[in-house]
Structures are given as C-alpha cells and as structure tokens.
Amino acid sequence: MKQFGIFIQKELFHIFRDRRTLLILLGMPIVLVLLFGFAITNEIDNARIAILDQSKGEMSQKITQRLLASGYFLIDENLREVAEIEQHFREGKTKMAIVFPPELQENLRRNLPTQIQLIADATDPNTATTLINYASAIIGRYVQDQGRGQAMPLQIHTEVKMLYNPRLKSVFMFVPGVMTVILMLVSAMMTSIAITREKELGTMEVLLASPLRPAMIIIGKVIPYILLALANTVVILMLGAFVFGMPIKGSLFLLALECLLFVITSLALGILISTRTESQQVAMLISLMMLMLPTILLSGFIFPIESMPLALQVISNIIPAKWFIIILKNVMLKGTGVEFIWKESLILGGMALFFIGASVRNFKIRLE
Amino acid sequence: MVPAITADKLTKKFGDFTAVNQITFEVQKGEIFGFLGANGAGKTTAMRMLNGLSRPTSGQASVAGFDVYRETEKIKKHIGYMSQKFSLYEDLTVRENIQFYGGIYGLPGREIRHQIKELIGGLGMQEYANTLVKAIPLGWKQKLSFSIAIMHRPEIVFLDEPTGGVDPITRRQFWEMIYKAASEGMTIFVTTHYMDESEYCGRVSIMVDGRIAALDTPRALKEQFGASSMNDVFLQLTRPNQHGS
Amino acid sequence: MRTIFFIVRKEFLQIFRHKVMLPLIFLMPIIQLVILAHAADFEVKNINLHIVDQDKSQASQQLISKFQASRNFNIIGYSFSSRLAFDEVQSGDADLFLEIPPHFYRDLIRNNKASLQLSVNAINGVQAGLANAYANAIIQDFNGEIRTELANTSAGTAPGGLSITYSNWFNPEMNYKTFMVPGILVLLVTLIGMFLSGMNIVKEKEIGTIEQINVTPIRKHQFIIGKLLPFWIIALVELSIGLAVGWLVFDIPFVGSLWLIYGFAAVYLLVVLGLGLLVSTFTETQQQAMFISWFLLIIFILMSGLFTPIESMPEWAQAITRFNPVAYFVEVMRMVLLKGSGLMDIRQHCIVMLTAALAVNVLAVLNYRKTN
C-alpha cells in the first residue's frame, strides 16, 4: 500500500510539474462555459439586409423603419437594381434583400393586390427561415395596424409554459454538455495518452517489472485524473450556478455519484484504448475520432438526437455521453431522483464493466 | 597547426547552478581526447556547448576554427555527434536511417547508396538492413549510431558515453572503430565513465564538479598521482579524503 | 531542396509505419463526415407530443388530427390528466404537452374566445422555441379554419391586398446538409492537420532524436518546411476525398471554382499547420502539445460560425472571430461552393490568410531553437 501511495505521488508530480497543461485543464472548462454562456447563441439579431426600393414612397420607408426598430435587422446597403442582390450575397455579408415594387404606393391607393418580395441567402437555411419569419411578421403587423385592425372573431389564445428553463437560456443546455466533454477529455483522452506515453518511452516495462501489480499501476495512473475530472466538475457547476443562475434541483450527492460513474466509464475507455496502441499519436487520433467527435456531435449536446436519422439514433445508444447527458439534465434541471434515471445509470455501469473486462483481456494477451 | 578544439574559461550556468566552471583546454587534430568524470560532473553540458546545442554563459571556445557563439551552424558542418540518449529513429529501418541522415548532411545520392552498402557490410548487419531499428540489439544500435555520426566524414566527432550499457566484447569492437576513424585523421572527443576506457585515449581530462581537475596523457596522470590504474587516479580526485587514509 | 525532400520522406515513412494511421487519417474522417452531416441537423423533426384532451368535442378532435397530420410532431400519448402528461415530460418521453381544457369549444362559441395551454420542455432552448413555433402555427391554422367554418369570414386577407412573397436563393430546398457538409469538412481537415503537426516536433524532443538533427548543419527553415509539407499534402488529399464525398453522397453544388477552394485551402493549411508546429516548438511533451492544440481548436471551432451564426454573437465575440482562421475557411467554403463567390469577393479573406500564414510560420521558424 505504501508503494502504491508513492506511485500515485509520482503521477501527481507529473501532472502538477506541467504547469501549462494544468492551467489548460483547469482553464478550459471555464472558457468553454463562458463562451457558451455569453458568445454562442442561435438567436439572430442585427442581421444585415439590403433594400431595393423601387417605389420610393412613404410606405416603403415606414416599413423599413419598422424593420430597423425591431433590432433584428441592420441596413447594409440601399440597392438600385435587382442584379446587385446576387452580387451582395456573393460577398457574403448580406443575409436578406427586401424588394419593394415600383407600383407599391399606387396599387395600395387603388386597393389592388401588391407584393413585397423577401429574398434570403439560404445557404444557411435556419437563418434564412428565421429572418423571413421575422420580416413577414413585422410587415404583417404594420399592414394590420394600417387597417385599424378590426378584432378578429373566435380568437384562440395559446398559453405557453416553458418548463425547467422559462427564459430559454442556451447555457442550461450547454452546461451538461460542456461537463460531459471535459470529463471525457480529461478521463479518456488524457489517460489513454498518459499510459501510452509510458509505453512509448519504455518506462512501462520498468513499472511492470516492479513489485506493483499491473492493475495497481493502472489504477495509480488514473487516480490523479479522477481528481482532476472531479475538480473540473465542481468548477463547471459553480460557474453554471453563480454566473448563469443555473439551478441544481436534484440531490448533490446523487449528482456526484453519477459524475463518478461517468468518469469511471471514460477512464475504462481510455485504458482500453491504451492497451491497443503503442504510440501517443495513434492513441490521440483514436481518442479524437472515436471519442471526442461522437461525444460532441452524437450525444445530444449540440444537436437533438430525435432529429437524427434512425440509424444514427441507434448508434447514439452506444455513446456513453448520451446517457450521461440525460442523467445530468434530469438531476440538475428537473430535479428527478434515482427512480427516473436508474436505467441510464445501469447502462453506464454496464459499459464501464465491459470496457474494463476488455482491457484486462487485452492486457493479459500482451503479457503472454 | 590550428587545434581542432580550443576552450578558454568556458562556463555554463543554469540559474544559480554552475554546471561547467571555467574549463580551459585544447584538442589537437587527429587526437583521441577522453573527457572523464562522474555522472553530473558537467561532461555532457560541456560537450553540448562545443557542438552548438547549448549556448555558453561566458568564456571562449572554437571548434574546427569556428566560434561557438557566432558560428554554430558552421561548426555543425564539420562535426559528427553521437548523443547519450539513443538518437536513431526506432520506427525507421536501418537502411532508412542511413538514407535520412545522409540526406540531411547533404551527401549526394550515389554516395548515400554507396554508404548504405559499405556501412551495413562493414558492420556485418546485412540481415538487419530492413529491420526496424527498435528491433536490433543495443550493441548494434550503438555501432550503427557511430557509423552514421561519421558517415559524412566530419573533422571532429563528439561521442557522449558511447559504450553505456554495452557488453565488453562490443565495447572492444567499438573502440576499434574509433581507432580506425582516428587513423583516418578524425579528431575524437569522447566522454565516458568507464575508467579502463580512458587508457585507450591519447589524453584525458577529468572533470569534478564542473571543473577540470586533471589533464594529461593517461601515463603521466598515473605517475603524477602515483596510481596503478586510471581508476585509482579518478578515485583520488573525486574522493581525496577517503583515499588519503 | 534536397534536405527538405529527405525530411519529407522520413516523415511519411514514420507516419504510415503504424498500420492504423492510414485508416485513421483517411477513412475515419470520411466516415465522420457522413455521420456528422446527418447528425448536425438543426431542423427539428419528430417532436414528441402528449395531448391532454379534457374537452372531447368535435373541435378538439379536429385540432388533434391537425397535429397528427403534421410532419414535425409525433403524438405519443393521450390522457385526461395533466399530471400524467407532466410525468411523461419529466421522464423525457414527451417533449411537450398540449392541454385542451374542458368546455374549450363551448367557451369559444359563447365568449368568442378560448384558451389552450402548451407546456414545453425548454432545457434545449432552441428546440423548445422551434417546437413552440410549429405548434402555434398549427393552432393558428386551426383557428383560421374554425373561423371560416363558423363565422364565414375570410381569414387572414390583409386590407389593401398587400401580400409578402419570399424566395430562398442558393439553397431553395432548404437542405441543411448542403450548409453543414462544407463546414464539417473544414473541421475534419483542421483537426487532423493541427494535431499531427502539433505533436510532431515535440515527439522528436520527447524521444531525443531532435538532438541528432540539431547538430547537423540543417537550416531552421528547411527543417520547418520539411515538417510542414507532409501534413500539408495529407490534408489536401483529405480535403479532396471529402469534397468528392460531398459531391457524390450529399449532392453539394459546386457553384464556384474548385481552383479557388484549393488555392485558399493551400494557404489556410499553412496557417493551421504552422500553428501546430509553433505549439510543438514551445512544448516539452506530446501530451502538453495535444492539450494546447485542443484548447486552441475548440475555441476556433466554436467561434467559427460552423454551428451557430457569427452574426448572432455579441460584438466582442465577433471581434475575436476576426483572428480565427477556421472562421475564414468555413466562410470561404460556403461562399465559393454554394454561392459561387469569386476571387474578388473573397479577396479580404485571402489577404488575411496570407498574412497569417507568413506570420505564423516565421514565428515557428524563429521559435525553433537549434541552440539552447
């Protein structure tokens, strides 16, 4: 046991000596949460639009003012001819063009049908849809105001309740995601590389020749990373709670247990990778391609799983992060207890056992 | 005749620690110069200053007539170096390593092909030519490193503990290779902590705590210290009190 | 030149000595591209809806059938109690539930107005917003129908006969993949390039072979170029395979000039690889190099406009993106491939990239020390 303690001490030295890595490991979650909280959003405002006003009348000007007053739009340019629209789109800044026809004023006076044309740069379909919706609504409201809106009969009013996140803050969505990615990074990617490093430098042989049992060596190597991962978890949760007012409704104890479970699963994955690789570069590429990208993209962190094609929804089931994110959201935002998440927890536990079993098997084969 | 290496009060400090303290010596062309000392005495640091890997803190030195401050890149054209840490690419084959270093030193293609044949033949490693370096025995790795270090016919070759961890027979063969290179006019600057090896050197310097404690031919040193072997000389220098009793 | 050739050859030998490297570098990213393009879809489909119908009238039936007909919604249950519905949301089975209160229809007729209640799981704010919008559109539509049926007034025609038409240029089918694939391709090429180059020089430091290189008369720029070139070639091959997949599998329109894409990519890669090498020159271990690269990359990627529009970011964040090479390449790929922008349209991007390439690589050369 004393030897084991010394061994862990050596691992801790490795990590703490390397100030730069430590700084990044502790700083990265902070930067990520702040970026997601303050900089990254899907809401659109100040979109640049171009206006082609062929009518040059009072109405087109009033509509333009309304659009500007909404805060969603900025006028990038006043155009003179249709051909300029495409040119502006190609240069990339302008997202939408509004065309007022020459006969706008005239037709309106005579009560003839008239069209205002909205042309969107739909390379980004979501932005295009949103901008057209905003603009249509604003123009529609203007027109209704003009007609002194006689109240519509048979009004159905829909009362909307946004559960768990009434102000639709995206940070609520991202905090569990960032936590998952960081834990995965520290636990799986770091350990796989740390162990492979000993192999590449030849120091693994020395350790294996020591009286420490191989299992102890591996456990000793991963313990510091468990500590780091848990420190990161605490930092992220504190940021979420104090900076963004994110609630933690469920039990903290349960949350801690679940985090530990996920960390163990990730560590097991990292160890499994390291049993199969000889060089740090290979370990890194495997971690990157098989762990990090799926964790970011297939776990429901950024993109909703329900919208994916069926095949991907099936694949997403083998990604530990998916289950962990479900657990996190349940415990943190909904305040549910074990009764709602025992299934997910069991799946994670099963995965951890499987990875550990596979690593042990690989390790034995290598020793024989 | 210009000496191959001159050092005048050459010093290297790392913070408060003085690794090499005002060493002064000359090495003549064609000489086998032994650089002895315990681990940590400053041998490697001194060598790294001479071959341009490390910048001296103070003092003067020149190698092959070039200044170690201003002309490190010129020095590098005239020297070969075999570092203490094994420095061939383990994931390249023997042949690929020779090809690579030949290319880096700017040998023409025909010369490289010739060297591959010559070198592998000379070492008797035909069967290993296409083996990854990590799979060949240590003794052969060391001999290969040396052959590669002198492949471009440098004027001076620096060897840092070239025989560390090698069996006596291979060490013997290794020194034969060194003699052969010296007989062709190469200057050899070699560090070692095997005292028996110092007997093979023309002159040796013994470093203790960053200083040169003694410098002469092995025979003169033994006479001076009244010792029967270089090992004795070394012990007297490093642990004068114990030996005096 | 010859020296550089020897380094390049050595690097290639080393990279592909590991059998796993070939598939890892070329096959995996392509699989990722195909998978991610399908995953990275912000279009919200299959929203799970639970309906609580306490009215049980003809009108409520009509509303429900409108939801059934919608492509966006997937009705997973009906009940009388909102508690049950809430549990479904709590357990994650339902994304939202619609409550039709008792006497909904009666109130509508009698009072000329009635209300419905929509409760949305809003943890994912974006998704919740869209789900709400879709549901509201259906309800409005239903409102219009009811109005026409009962009140016999024509719904929604604005006075003055003014109407709004819209068209979506460059991507009339509103295909989200067309938008994402070029961006994901940038992501993959960048990841592979930066990590391979970032870990490269530091690997030689860690193993000790760098000493042997440093005592040779090799020039610093020869060394850096020799280290850069292999990854530059690999990344360009990778880009080509990715573009081919985009064309064959995803029908990405190649509106603009491919030469322009390659020209820009060539310069862009110099920036990314140069950054990797720069990281490599001031780190001591591969682990360290990897972490610094990872840190840089994750910020680059999140701030690149790949997943969320740059225009939506606050001013200070937009200012940061001006120093982000990934943002430039993502934009150029989309502009040239999808809109057919020409050299004149992207001239500013080109100037910035060229300057950055020069600066980063000069720094890498300067920061690489043969003598310590």
Q: Is residue B93 part of a domain?
A: no
Q: Are residues A278 and A359 in the same domain?
A: yes
pLDDT category at C156 given cuts 50, 70, 90 is very low
Q: Is residue A66 part of a domain?
A: yes
Q: State the Cα–Cα distance between residues B115 and B111, nearest whole angstrom.
A: 6
**pLDDT above 90 covers what percent of chain A?**
6
Contacts with C, A 187-246, CB within 8 Å: 189-190, 193-194, 197, 200-201
> Is the CATH number of domain C47-161 3.20.20.120?
no
Most confident of A294-303, C225-234, C292-301: C225-234
Give the CATH number of the domain where residue A74 resides: 3.40.1710.10
Residue A113 touches partner C, C-beta closer than 8 Å = yes
Interface touch B87/C211, C-beta < 8 Å: yes
Is the pLDDT at C330 greater than 60? The verdict is yes
A164 contacts chain C (CB < 8 A): yes
Verify that A203 and A297 share a domain, yes or no: yes
In this predicted structure, the answer to whether residue B100 has a pLDDT above a threshold of 50 is yes
Does C84 touch chain A if contact means CB atoms closer than 8 Å?
A: no
Do A114 and A239 have their domain in common? no
Q: What is the pTM of this model?
A: 0.78
Q: What is the percent of chain C where pLDDT is above 70?
A: 93
The domain that holds B204 is classified in CATH as 3.40.50.300
Residue corresponding to tokens 């950024």:
A302
**Cα A232 from Cα A266, distance rounded (Å):** 15
Residues of A in contact with C286 (CB under 8 A): 193, 197, 280-281, 284
- Phi, psi dihedral angles at C113 (to 5 degrees): -155, 155
Over residues C317-345, the mean pLDDT reads 89
Predicted local distance difference test score (pLDDT) of residue B5: 94
| Cβ C287 vs Cβ A280: under 8 Å | yes
Is A204 in the same domain as A351? yes
**Sheet containing B66-67: order of strands:** B17-27, B5-14, B58-63, B66-67
Length of chain A: 368
Please give, rounded to a whole number of angstroms, the shortest distance from the CA of C217 to a CA of chain B: 5
Encode pLDDT of A197-224 as tens digits. Answer: 888 777 777 777 766 777 777 888 888 8
B96 contacts in C (CB within 8 Å)?
10, 13
Cβ C122–A164 below 8 Å, yes or no?
A: yes
Q: Do A25 and C32 touch (CB under 8 A)?
A: no
Domain membership flag for residue B33? yes
Output the average pLDDT for chain A. Answer: 81
Is residue B77, in this structure, part of any structural domain at all? Answer: yes
Give per-residue pLDDT as tens, B175-211. 999 999 999 999 999 998 888 888 889 999 998 888 9
CA distance B163 to B161: 6
> Is a pLDDT exceeding 80 seen at residue A102?
yes
* Euclidean distance between CA atoms B165 and B139, whole angstroms: 9
The CA distance from C219 to the nearest CA of chain B, in Å, is: 8
| pLDDT above 50 for B245 | no
DSSP chain B: ---SEEEEEEEEEETTEEEEEEEEEEE-TT-EEEEEE-TTSSHHHHHHHHTTSS--SEEEEEETTEETTT-HHHHHHHEEEE-SS--S-TTSBHHHHHHHHHHHTT--HHHHHHHHHHHHHHHT-GGGTTSBGGGS-HHHHHHHHHHHHTTT--SEEEEESTTTT--HHHHHHHHHHHHHHHHTT-EEEEEES-HHHHTTSSEEEEEETTEEEEEE-HHHHHHHHT-SSHHHHHHHHH-HHHHH-
Token output for A71: 């805060």
Closest approach of chain A CAs to the CA of C301, in angstroms?
A: 11
Q: Rank A24-28, A276-280, B119-123 by mean pLDDT and report only the highest.
A: B119-123
Check if the beta carbon of residue B160 is closer than 8 Å to that of residue B191. yes
Domain limits at B200?
Answer: 5-84+156-244
Asked if residue A161 is part of any domain, the answer here is no
Cβ-defined contact of C5 to B73 (cutoff 8 Å): no
C268 pLDDT exceeds 60? Answer: yes
Q: What is the pLDDT of residue B46?
A: 92
Q: Work out how many domains chain B is built from and give that number.
A: 1
| Phi then psi dihedrals of residue B37, to 5 deg | 160, 160
Using the Cβ of B134 and the Cβ atoms of chain C, whether some distance falls under 8 Å is answered with no
One-letter identity of residue A286: I
Nearest Cα of chain C lies from the Cα of A327 at a distance, in angstroms, of: 10
**Residues pairing with C113 in the sheet:** A155
What amino acid occupies position C64? I
Residues A176 and A284 in one domain: yes
Q: What is the average pLDDT across C10-31?
A: 84
* CA gap A291, A285 in Å, rounded: 9
pLDDT surpasses 60 at B243? no
Instruction: For residue B74, list chain C residues with Cβ-Cβ distance below 8 A.
Output: 217
pLDDT in tens, C37-68: 887 766 666 788 999 999 888 888 989 999 98
Quick one: pLDDT at residue C159? 39
**A91 lies in the same domain as A216:** no
Least confident of A167-171, C2-6, C163-167: A167-171
- Inspect the interface and report whether the beta carbons of C3 and B100 lie closer than 8 Å: no
Q: How far apart are the C-alpha atoms of A251 and A245, rounded to whole Å?
A: 17
Whole-number Å distance between alpha carbons of C174 and C185: 20
Residue A274 belongs to some domain of the structure? yes
Encode pLDDT of C189-214 as tens digits.
998 898 888 888 888 888 888 888 88
Which pLDDT tens digit goes with each residue over A223-261? 888 888 888 888 888 888 888 777 788 888 898 899 999
Least CB-CB distance to A146: which of C25, C153, C160?
A: C160
Looking at A101, A129, A144, which one is the last position of a domain? A144
How far off is chain C from A350, nearest CA to CA, in Å?
A: 21
Alpha-carbon distance values, B108 to B104, B207, B240, C3, C251 (Å): 10, 40, 53, 11, 50
Residues A316 and A180 in one domain: yes
Q: Is the pLDDT of residue C115 over 80?
A: yes
Distance CA A108, CA B98 (A): 86
What b/e sequence results for A47-80 when a residue is b if at least 16 CB atoms lie within 10 Å of its CB, and e otherwise? Answer: bbbbbbbbbebebbeebbebbeeeebbbebbebe
* Subunits close to B (at least 3 CB pairs below 8 A): C
In a domain, residue A162? The reply is: no
Domain span including residue A61 = 47-144
How many domains would you assign to chain A? 2
More confident residue, B45 or C127: B45
- Return residue ranges of chain C for CATH 3.40.1710.10: 47-161
Q: Which residues contact C293 (CB under 8 A, 6 or more apart)?
A: C194, C195, C198, C199, C276, C279
Interface of C with A in 3-62 (CB under 8 A): 18, 20-21, 24-25, 28-29, 32, 35-36, 38-48
Tell me the average pLDDT across C247-256: 87
